[in-house]
Chain A
Amino acid sequence: MSDHAVAETTDAHASHGHGHHEHGPFQAHHFETPKQQFDAGKFGMWLFLVQEVLFFSGLFVFYAIYRINHPEIFEWGHQALDTTYGAINTIVLLFSSLTMAWAVRCAQLGKKNGLVFFLVVTLACAGIFLGVKYVEYSAKFEHGYLWARYFNPTSDNPHVAEPPSISKEVDKVVEKVESDLGDHSAAAHDAHSAEGHHHGPVGPPPPNAGVFFSIYFTMTGLHAIHVIAGIVAITWILVRSVKGHFGPMYFGPVDYVGLYWHLVDLVWIYLFPMLYLIE
């Protein structure tokens, strides 16, 4: 459909009350125009996102309170997390956000192939994200860095604990990127190598150290569940876009799933520094 035709259809529908509806195949009977349907869906989606923000807020409030009252738990606990993994996952999610936004653009412009391609890439990124999470979780389970009741770090000397091998490879890449950035990161680079590659906490755990891992697992776990839900939603969109359901006058579902996916990204943007970086 050319832009001109689109504009015309919109105009025709913008003036209500004609009574004659050109209902598209996906326009619900109770909406007067595609525009009304799209706006309703979009507002609904934003309300859903609002609901999601408040859903996550419980954990953020919890984090803030424990962080302020017991900083020592966080200072000790966050060392058990591997920043490299966190950084990779951040980049992966950001990239998937980019492809998702691009997919929405393709849907809006009626480019079916582009839409399918970018949705597949987004799905792949989601898969990588979960894979990395799996590796991270297994490492935690292996070392007994678990939530309060099962918190039982097995290694007496965490310095000896070998980080999983991918980590080293990726570390090199990250270091390279850091050194490319110029002067000030050189110090960071030094600090990084000076401390060596251990990813275990230093010193004995403070009382209730398990709470850190409770927070870590509930926050990232809940986020991971959202990623999985996102994968399901994107797959649904993918199937529909292969069938050619979407075009300039009907791309709402792609847009809504896109918004959801960006929110998942948004939560991770905060989780990453809160859990992996802040000391």
Chain B
Amino acid sequence: MATVDTTTTYSPDSKPVNYLTQSHGFLSWAMTLDHKRIGVMYLVATSVAFLLGGTFAILLRTELWAPGHTIVSHDTYNQLFTLHGAVMVFLFIIPGIPAALGNFMLPIMLGAKDVAFPRLNLASFYFWCVGALFFLSALLLTGLDTGWTFYTPYSTTEYNTSKDEAIIAATMGVFVLGFSSIFTGLNFLVTIHTMRPPGMGWFHMPLFLWATYSTALIQVLATPVLAITVLLIIVERLMGIGIFNPVYGGDPVLYQHFFWFYSHPAVYIMILPAFGVISELISVNCHRHIFGYRFIAYSSVAIALLGFLVWGHHMFTSGQSKIASVVFSAITFSIAIPSAVKIFNWLATMYKASISFNAPFLYALSFMFLFTIGGLTGLFLSTLNTDVHLHDTYFVVAHFHYVMVGGSLTAFFGGLFHWWPKISGKMYSEFPAKVSAFLVFIGFNLTFFPQFVMGTRGMPRRYYNYLPEFQSFHQWSTIGAYVLGLGAIVAFATLVHSMFRGKKAPTNPWGGASLEWQCPSPPPLENFHEAPTVGDCYDYDRLRYDEKTEGYVMTK
């Protein structure tokens, strides 16, 4: 290998072989150990899951256009919201950013050739597929109507309308998906710890890696508890061990402790990678060093660790004791601080910046708007007395959609547009991408803002029928859902279109300084033709716009 060259533009004359053209055929993808191909497969798979979950959502909202029967029956409605929740949570949001974007970007941003365990990585993708198949079979078999939380005793007794097979298939699906998630997390932790090239210190890592690292920590520490919990549900259902069944002295509230010990940290699995993406989007498009790098990095880890101590705030009205509720409420407030720190730091990054308004940045702005609302409404739910009123109402629905959709989904789209030139080697068209960002923003607010009002007025969630006084809100919400759906379709259409008609992407179209903008677009099999220079990944002053390639180049 030649000595390290400081200029990183690769000669355009020799047509370099990249990871997409490296080999051909179905098997070359299905059996690939390349993290980029696995990332792309994850991207396709999770996007399909998103469209599936989105379809359920559209059907749900359509049913709620009017009280009483609109298009589906009680039972179908219950199955729809169960699968909407389960598919979106387990198949889309949890793997969406870390497993798809993270898999693709993490080794490149780190300057490594691959993740530490490529075979485990591929296995984790197939675990995802198997889990998805279990979910689909639950849908096709007999329907699953327990809600994505599988609360006992509803899920463990014959009281519900879904059959054994549906619940066992779905919980098996969660179990398998859990392992997919654990293996991805484990892989990332090991990669970040042991595969950093010389010069890449902890505080030289882009913030996306800090976020992914924190996420991976949660995946490894929390997911096993979910695994044992759903395993106990399966055993309960099959054999009747009575652990969560009051008839045999079991305890349904204990189930909720088990479930939320995983599922609250899981909320941070969903949002932390989004924080990482936004940190990248904002600093790159502001062409300015991120403000307060260490505070953002530490706040990710702080959120990951504090996230383990607050699960009881899902249970203030569940029959949990007063003392536990009070303790959990107090700890919950502490998690507001690292989240707020991030928002303030991003804002400060925009100060004296030089902002390019491309589609990823619009998504980042809409993230800041929506996540701020999502975060602030969390305060109402961590406060004990207001939560007693708001718990299990549409207020909660609106709050977590502001965080998960307004947060994670916009970050997912933003990150996808941002890194799309790197992933596909093609530039997307800016105008429809901006339209999609706009539609998602408007549609989202229209869908979920009325739900805050509904919830405060006392409209409980998971209701098939509702009182006539809520109809107006529901109709606004339904219209919003259509707009949101349209926005998502425009976004995907823009990306697909670019694959065929897009201009060839330069190495560094946005002027990013982290390592992924030093390797060609799309990257070759081992990511870098020559060892990359590790420098300050937020120092944009070294970059200069090059008219010829329509991209940025390092000046020094």
Query: A residues engaging B (CB < 8 A)?
Result: 16-17, 19, 28-30, 36, 39-41, 43-44, 47-48, 50-52, 54-59, 61-62, 65, 70, 73, 147-150, 207-208, 210-211, 214-215, 217-218, 222
Contacts and interface: CB of A to CB of B under 8 A. Distances in A.
Given A148-B242, A214-B241, A40 B225 contact: no
A43 B240 contact: no
Contacts of A50: 220-221
B229 interface: yes
B229 A47 contact: no
A149 B229 contact: no
Contact of A58 (B114, B116, B120, B258): B258
A71 to B, nearest CB: 13
Interface in B160-186: 182, 186
A48 B190 CA distance: 11
Given A36-B194, A149-B241, A214-B243, A208 B113 contact: no
B221 A58 contact: no
Nearest to B185: A47
Contacts of B232: 58, 218
Contacts of A210: 242, 248
A61 B224 CA distance: 14
Q: Is the interface of B mostly helix, strand, loop or mixed?
A: helix
B182 A51 contact: yes
Nearest to B113: A30
Contacts of B190: 40, 43-44, 47
B1 A149 contact: no
Contacts, number: 119
A142 B235 CA distance: 21
Nearest to B112: A30
A207 B247 CA distance: 11
**Most B CB within 10 A of own CB, among A55, A59, A150, A207:** A55
B224 A218 contact: no
Interface string B109-123: 000111011101000
Contact of A28 (B118, B242, B526): B118
B113 A29 contact: yes
B25 interface: no
Contacts of B240: 147-150
B254 interface: yes
Contacts of B51: none
B468 interface: no
Interface string B216-246: 0000111111011101100100011111010
B228 A59 contact: yes
Interface of B: 1, 112-114, 116-118, 120, 182, 186-187, 189-191, 193-195, 198, 220-225, 227-229, 231-232, 235, 239-243, 245, 248-251, 254, 258, 526, 531
28 contacts: A17-B531, A40-B191, A40-B195, A43-B193, A43-B194, A44-B186, A47-B220, A51-B182, A54-B225, A55-B224, A57-B225, A58-B225, A62-B254, A70-B249, A147-B241, A148-B242, A149-B239, A149-B242, A149-B248, A150-B239, A150-B240, A208-B248, A211-B241, A211-B249, A211-B250, A214-B243, A217-B241, A218-B243
A17 B193 CA distance: 19
A40 to B, nearest CB: 4
A125 B384 CA distance: 55
Contacts of A70: 249
A218 B229 CA distance: 12
A163 B450 CA distance: 69
Contacts of A47: 186, 189-190, 220
Contact of B254 (A30, A65, A215): A65
Contacts of B231: 222
Nearest to A59: B228
Pick the most buried of A17, A30, A54, A73: most chain B CB atoms within 10 A of its CB: A30
Contacts of A208: 242, 248-249
B118 A55 contact: no
A214 B242 contact: yes
Contacts of A16: 198
A39 B117 CA distance: 12
Contacts of B245: 148
A211 B243 contact: yes
Contacts of B195: 30, 36, 40
Contact of B224 (A17, A54, A147): A54
B117 A44 contact: yes
Contacts of B1: 19
A271 to B, nearest CB: 15
Q: With a 10 A CB-CB cut-off, give which of A51, A52, A73 has the most chain B CB atoms.
A: A51
Contacts of A207: 249
A50 B192 CA distance: 17
Which 6 A-B residue pairs are closest in the complex by CB-CB distance? A149-B240, A148-B242, A208-B249, A58-B228, A214-B241, A55-B224
